[in-house]
C-alpha cells in the first residue's frame, strides 16, 4: 500500500529536508517554521516517508512555466 501512495501519478514528490537544508531554506526566505504552511502528521504521504513533527518537507510540483516548483511545509501534530 505504501508504494502505491508514492507512485500515484498525481502525487508530487515529497522529501524530508535535513536540518542543514531546512536552515538554508528558512534563511533564504527569511522566515521561521511557524510562518510556513503546515502538513499534518496523519497525512498518508507523511506517514509513508517517515516524517516527524517539526520536519520541513519539500514538495516538488510540476509547473507548465518552470518545469518544477518547490513548496515547503512543516509537519505538525494537530
Strand 67-76 relative to strand 56-63, pairing: antiparallel
Structurally, the chain folds into a number of domains equal to 1
Nearest Cα neighbor of 52 from 72, 23, 76, 70 is 76
Range of the domain at 44: 2-76
Q: Give Cα 20 to chain centroid, integer Å.
A: 15
**CATH number of the domain to which 6 belongs:** 3.90.940.20
Under the banding of pLDDT at 50, 70 and 90, the label for residue 63 is: confident
Over residues 3-59, the pLDDT tens digits come to 666 666 668 899 999 999 999 999 999 999 999 999 999 998 999 999 999 999 999
Amino acid at each position: 500500500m505504501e508504494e502505491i501512495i508514492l507512485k500515484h501519478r498525481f502525487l508530487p514528490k515529497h522529501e524530508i529536508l535535513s536540518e542543514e537544508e531546512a536552515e538554508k531554506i528558512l534563511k533564504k526566505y527569511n522566515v521561521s517554521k511557524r510562518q510556513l504552511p503546515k502538513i499534518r502528521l496523519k497525512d498518508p504521504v507523511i506517514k509513508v516517508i517517515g516524517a516527524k513533527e517539526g520536519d520541513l518537507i519539500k514538495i516538488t510540483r510540476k509547473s507548465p512555466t518552470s518545469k518544477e516548483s518547490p513548496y515547503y511545509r512543516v509537519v505538525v501534530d494537530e
